[in-house]
Chain A
Amino acid sequence: MTKQTSDNAAADSEAAKAYWRANIRLLLGLLVVWFAVSFGAGILFADVLNDFTFIGFPLGFWFAQQGSIYVFVILIFVYTRKMKAIERRYGVDERDEGDDTGDVT
Chain B
Amino acid sequence: MSTQLLTYLTVGFSFVLYIGIAVWSRAGSTKDFYVAGGGVHPIANGMATAADWMSAASFISMAGIIAFAGYDGSVYLMGWTGGYVLLALLLAPYLRKFGQYTVPDFIGERYYSGTARVVAVVCLIAISFTYIAGQMRGVGVVFSHFLNIPITMGVLVGMAVVFFYAVLGGMKGITYTQVAQYCVLIFAYMTPAIFISMLITGNPVPQAGLGSEVLDGSGLTVLEKLDATLLDLGFTAYTLPSKSMIDIFAITLALMVGTAGLPHVIVRFFTVPKVSDARVSAGYALVFIALLYTTAPAVGAFARINFIETVNGSTYAQSEDQGGTPQFFKTFEDIGLIGWVDKNSDGIVQYGPGAPFDGRAEYTGERGQSGERLLTNNPTANHNEVNVDRDIMVLANPEIAKLPGWVIALVAAGGIAAALSTAAGLLLVISSSISHDLLKKTFMPDITDKMELLAARGAAVLAIAVAGYLGINPPGFVAQVVALAFGLAASSLFPAILMGIFMKHMNREGAIAGMVSGLLFTVSYIAYFKSDWFGAVNTAEHWMLGISPEGIGSIGMVINFVVAMTVARFTKATPASVQALVDDIRIPAGAGSAQKH
Contact = CB atoms under 8 A, between A and B. Distances in A.
A50 B89 CA distance: 30
A30 B592 CA distance: 28
Given A92-B588, A103-B31, A50 B239 contact: yes
B82 A2 contact: no
Contacts of A3: 590, 592
A73 B593 contact: no
Contacts of A46: 71, 241
B223 A58 contact: yes
A5 B581 contact: no
B77 A102 contact: no
Interface of B: 31, 39, 66, 71, 73-74, 77-78, 81-82, 84-86, 88-90, 93, 98-99, 207-208, 210-213, 221-223, 239-241, 245, 248-249, 252-253, 256, 273-276, 279-280, 282-283, 286-287, 290, 293-294, 297, 577, 581, 583-593, 595-597
Per DSSP, chain B at the interface is helix
B77 A64 contact: yes
Which 10 residue pairs across A and B have the least CB separation, nearest first?
A56-B211, A64-B74, A76-B283, A101-B592, A5-B590, A65-B297, A61-B239, A56-B221, A76-B88, A80-B279
B592 A100 contact: yes
A103 B85 contact: no
A75 B85 CA distance: 7
Of the listed residues A16, A23, A42, the one surrounded by the most CB atoms of chain B closer than 10 A to its CB is A42
A55 B223 CA distance: 11
Contact of A97 (B82, B253, B584, B590): B590
A79 B245 CA distance: 30
Contact of B210 (A38, A57, A70): A57
Contacts of B252: 38-39, 42-43
Given A16-B586, A79-B89, A73 B286 contact: yes
Contact of B587 (A1, A16, A34, A80): A16
A73 B280 CA distance: 11
19 contacts: A2-B98, A5-B590, A34-B85, A38-B256, A50-B239, A56-B212, A56-B222, A56-B223, A64-B74, A64-B77, A69-B290, A69-B293, A76-B85, A80-B283, A87-B588, A97-B590, A97-B592, A100-B273, A103-B596
Given A16-B583, A64-B71, A70-B294, A104 B597 contact: yes
Interface of A: 1-3, 5-6, 13, 16, 19-20, 23, 27, 30-31, 34, 38-39, 42-44, 46, 50, 54-58, 61-62, 64-66, 68-70, 72-73, 75-77, 79-80, 83-84, 87, 92-94, 97, 99-105
A54 B78 CA distance: 19
B273 A58 contact: no
B290 A65 contact: no
A103 B596 CA distance: 7
Contacts of B212: 56
A72 B588 contact: no
A94 to B, nearest CB: 5
A64 B88 contact: no
Given A64-B74, A77-B283, 13 more contacts: A6-B583, A31-B89, A42-B78, A43-B245, A69-B293, A79-B89, A80-B276, A80-B279, A93-B589, A97-B590, A97-B592, A100-B592, A103-B596
A94 B86 CA distance: 22
A3 to B, nearest CB: 6
Contacts of A75: 85, 89
B249 A43 contact: yes
Contacts of B275: 94
B597 A105 contact: yes
Nearest to B209: A56
A16 B74 CA distance: 40
A72 B286 contact: yes
A94 B591 contact: yes
Given A1-B581, A92-B588, A79 B249 contact: no
Contacts of A79: 88-89, 279
Contacts of B590: 3, 5-6, 94, 97, 101
Contact of B82 (A30, A72, A101): A72
Contacts of A27: 89-90
Given A16-B586, A43-B248, A1 B597 contact: yes
B282 A76 contact: yes
A56 B222 CA distance: 8
Contact of A38 (B78, B90, B223, B588): B78
Nearest to A101: B592
A100 B592 CA distance: 5
A69 B589 contact: no
Contacts of A38: 78, 82, 252, 256
A7 B438 CA distance: 34
Contacts of B31: 103
Given A5-B590, A92-B589, A83 B279 contact: yes
B177 to A, nearest CB: 24
A58 to B, nearest CB: 5
A103 B253 CA distance: 39
A72 B500 CA distance: 24
Given A50-B239, A83-B276, A103-B31, A42 B74 contact: yes
Nearest to A61: B239
Contacts of A57: 210-211, 221, 223
A2 B587 CA distance: 12
Contacts of B208: 55
Contacts of B248: 43
Contacts of B66: 65
Contacts of A34: 82, 85-86
Contacts of A97: 589-592
Contacts of B581: 1-2
B77 to A, nearest CB: 6
Contacts of A84: 276
Nearest to A33: B85
Contacts of A69: 77-78, 81, 290, 293-294
B193 to A, nearest CB: 14
Contacts of B256: 38
A80 B280 contact: yes
A30 B279 CA distance: 14
Given A50-B239, A65-B297, A76-B84, A2 B584 contact: yes
